[in-house]
Amino acid sequence: MMNNSLTEKRQSVSTGSFQRIPSESSLSSVNGEVYSQHIPCIPWQRSQSALDLENKEITGGHTVTTVEYSDANKSTGAVSEHSKVYLDLSKAEDELASAAAAAGWTGGKFKISLQTIHQKEEMKTTSAPSVSIQARVVRRMSSETGVYPVNSDQCEVTTSGSPPPKYEEQHTVCLSPSGSGPVVHTKTYSFITYNQLKPNMTITLATAVPMIREQIQMLRSSKAVEQCTVLRNMLGLIKAAWAVPSSGRDIASRLCDVLREEGGLEILIENCSSSNYEVQLNTARVLEQSMTVGNRDVVARRGLEVIVRLAKSAKDDLELTKATTGILENLFKHSENTCARVIRYGGLDTILYSCRTRDKLTLRHCAIALANLAIFGGTENQYEMILQKVPEWLFPLAFSNDDSIRYYAFLAISMLSANKEISTAVAQSGTLELVEPFICTHNPLEFAHSDTAHIHGQSAEWLRRLVPLLYSSRKEATSLAAFHFAMEAGIKLDQGKVEVFSDIGAVEPLRCVASSPNKLASKFATQALDIMGEEVPYKLSPQVPLWTTEDVIHWLQRVSPCP
| Residues forming a β-bridge with 175 | 187
- Please list the alpha-helical segments (H only) found in 262-397: 264-271, 277-289, 293-302, 304-313, 318-331, 336-345, 347-354, 360-376, 378-387, 390-397
| Domain annotation covers residue 203 | no
pLDDT number for residue 552: 83
* pTM, two decimal places: 0.66
> Which residues are CB-contacts of 512 (< 8 A; sequence separation ≥ 6)?
470, 537, 558, 561, 562
Domain end marker among 99, 116, 136: 136
Do 94 and 53 have their domain in common?
yes
Do 17 and 95 have their domain in common?
no
Domain end marker among 136, 157, 190: 136
Do 72 and 31 have their domain in common?
no
Do 28 and 95 have their domain in common?
no
Domain total in the chain: 2
| Domain annotation covers residue 486 | no
Do 78 and 132 have their domain in common?
yes
The Cα-based distances of 176 to 41, 173, 183, 498, 555 in angstroms read: 50, 10, 10, 40, 66
| Domain annotation covers residue 529 | no
Do 61 and 89 have their domain in common?
yes
Contact (CB, 8 A) for 280 and 271: yes
Rg (CA), the chain: 33
- For residue 503, the SS3 value is helix
Closest C-alpha to 203, from 191, 185, 215, 188: 191
- pLDDT in 10s for each residue of the chain, 563 residues: 445 554 554 444 444 444 444 444 444 444 444 444 444 444 444 444 444 444 444 444 333 333 343 344 444 444 444 444 445 555 655 665 565 555 555 444 444 344 444 444 444 433 433 333 233 322 332 333 333 333 333 333 333 333 333 333 344 444 443 444 444 443 444 444 433 444 567 888 888 899 999 999 998 876 888 889 999 999 999 999 988 877 888 899 999 999 999 999 999 999 999 999 999 999 999 999 999 999 999 999 999 999 999 999 988 899 999 999 999 999 999 999 999 999 999 999 999 999 999 999 999 999 999 999 999 999 999 999 999 999 999 999 999 999 999 999 999 999 999 998 898 889 888 899 999 999 999 999 999 888 877 888 899 999 999 999 999 989 999 999 999 999 999 999 988 899 999 999 999 999 989 988 888 999 999 999 999 999 887 776 667 777 788 878 877 776 665 54
Domain end marker among 120, 136, 152: 136
| Domain annotation covers residue 416 | no
> Which residues are CB-contacts of 544 (< 8 A; sequence separation ≥ 6)?
none
Do 92 and 125 have their domain in common?
yes
Contact (CB, 8 A) for 296 and 331: yes
| Domain annotation covers residue 13 | yes
Closest C-alpha to 299, from 275, 321, 272, 278: 272
Tell me the residue range of the domain where 93 lies: 48-136
pLDDT number for residue 417: 92
| Domain annotation covers residue 19 | yes
Do 79 and 52 have their domain in common?
yes
> Which residues are CB-contacts of 8 (< 8 A; sequence separation ≥ 6)?
none
| Domain annotation covers residue 17 | yes
| Domain annotation covers residue 440 | no
> Which residues are CB-contacts of 225 (< 8 A; sequence separation ≥ 6)?
178, 179, 180, 181
